[in-house]
Amino acid sequence: MFNFHQDHKKLVLTSFIVFAGLSTLIAVMPAYHMQETKPLPAMQGLTEQEKNGLHIYVQENCVACHTQQVRNIEMDNTWGERPSMPSDYYFSKKRLDVWRQSPSLLGSERTGPDLTNIAKRQPGKEWHLMHFYNPRIVVEESIMPGYPWLFEEKNEKEVAETDVVVPIPAQLLKDQHNKVVATQNVLDLIAYLQSLKQAPLPGNGAPEFIPSAKKKEITTASTPADVTVTATATGPDGAKIYMNTCAACHQRDGKGLAGAFPSLAGSTIVNDNNHETQIKIILQGYDARAEYGVMTGFADQLNDEEITAVANHERTNWGNKGSVITAEEVKKIRESLKKLSQ
């Protein structure tokens, strides 16, 4: 037993070990995991102008009053078309260099509105220019401070052809003969804001569904070479249903997208001989892991035979060794869920 009040060396050593352990758990491991995140297919990287605008955004401490995170609650529907996911921050969270992590932009206070989808709500550059100069010009009740240092006030004769003139009311100027000109910093900042829009999920987040189908030959052009077609001669085609309803998110090879959609290849849920959890997820959807996007349920779109087919397809492909299930088992789970909801 350590007598810390007598042995300061042991006290310092123990403190260091605790500090190192907590630092690894709280900082190093999450940062390492973040590097494994992948962008959504429709996402584009930031241009040099947008990157500089991001730096201005941080420099001006915009994160103190604005968030960039859409939570999975009804009141956040106005800020985005879907809840935010780690992939949304792929380009803004890339490390500056080996020593420095880019600053967090999620924010925790909404004194001002969330900016996740601001490019879709306010796409016009002129609006942003006036808003940064004096927010009350465009939003009368705004409590946001102005940022006049991001502009220059020039005499009309000094304004160059390349200058971006902001249409500020004359009564707000020191000299009514002057013009307000945007600096490059505010133009870059606006370029960054105009890049803030949620990328659509694969298939626009609403994959097309197919009705019950008889077995059809799946060509190699539409089915990966390592996929086994598991449909029977009289039942729905699991591979076809998967390609139409699941592959947009979980990908053709079942490996998903890190930070957006979980991998089905090697999944403990898919390989579990107790198939109840997998069937419930397909029927009800899934929203239990914050690091992934919300999955909607397919109970209203797929019947028992179709769910059986796609579940068996997932359980017997990409190296998975799950036991095959029957439509009767799916029917029992569906009925039990209905009773619970009543």
Stretch 19-38: mean pLDDT: 82
Residue-averaged pLDDT of the chain: 83
The answer to whether residue 97 sits within a structural domain is: yes
- Whether 92 contacts 54, CB under 8 Å: yes
Same domain, yes or no, for 145 and 245? no
pLDDT at residue number 73: 86
The answer to whether residue 314 sits within a structural domain is: yes
Same domain, yes or no, for 138 and 167? yes
**What is the total count of domains within the chain?**
2
Give pLDDT tens digits for 254-283: 888 777 788 899 999 999 888 899 999 998
Indicate the angle between helix axes 276-284 and 327-341, nearest 10 degrees: 60
The answer to whether residue 206 sits within a structural domain is: yes
Same domain, yes or no, for 189 and 54? yes
pLDDT at residue number 36: 73
Which of 193, 223, 249 is the last residue before a domain boundary?
A: 193
Same domain, yes or no, for 137 and 164? yes
Give pLDDT tens digits for 213-234: 333 333 333 344 444 444 444 6
The answer to whether residue 26 sits within a structural domain is: no
pLDDT confidence band for 204 (50 / 70 / 90): very low
CA distance 237 to 235: 7
Which residues have CB under 8 Å from 232's CB, separation 6+?
Answer: 215
The answer to whether residue 91 sits within a structural domain is: yes
Stretch 9-24: mean pLDDT: 90
Structure tokens that stand for 241 in this block? 């249903």
Which of 193, 219, 252 is the last residue before a domain boundary?
A: 193
The answer to whether residue 7 sits within a structural domain is: no
Is the per-residue pLDDT at 312 higher than 60? yes
Same domain, yes or no, for 70 and 164? yes
CA distance 147 to 134: 7
Same domain, yes or no, for 230 and 180? no
Which residues have CB under 8 Å from 106's CB, separation 6+?
Answer: 63, 67, 68, 69, 89
The answer to whether residue 19 sits within a structural domain is: no
Structural domain boundaries, residue 332: 202-341
Same domain, yes or no, for 222 and 189? no
For the chain, give the percent of residues with pLDDT over 70.
86
DSSP 87: G
Which is higher by pLDDT, 99 or 333? 333
pLDDT at residue number 5: 67
Domain of 291: which CATH number? 1.10.760.10
Same domain, yes or no, for 227 and 173? no
Same domain, yes or no, for 185 and 208? no
Same domain, yes or no, for 245 and 186? no
Give pLDDT tens digits for 41-81: 888 889 999 999 999 999 999 999 999 999 888 889 889 98
pLDDT at residue number 220: 32
pLDDT at residue number 96: 65
pLDDT at residue number 163: 93
Same domain, yes or no, for 146 and 230? no
pLDDT at residue number 231: 42
The answer to whether residue 1 sits within a structural domain is: no
Same domain, yes or no, for 261 and 337? yes
Which of 146, 176, 193 is the last residue before a domain boundary?
A: 193
Is the per-residue pLDDT at 184 higher than 80? yes
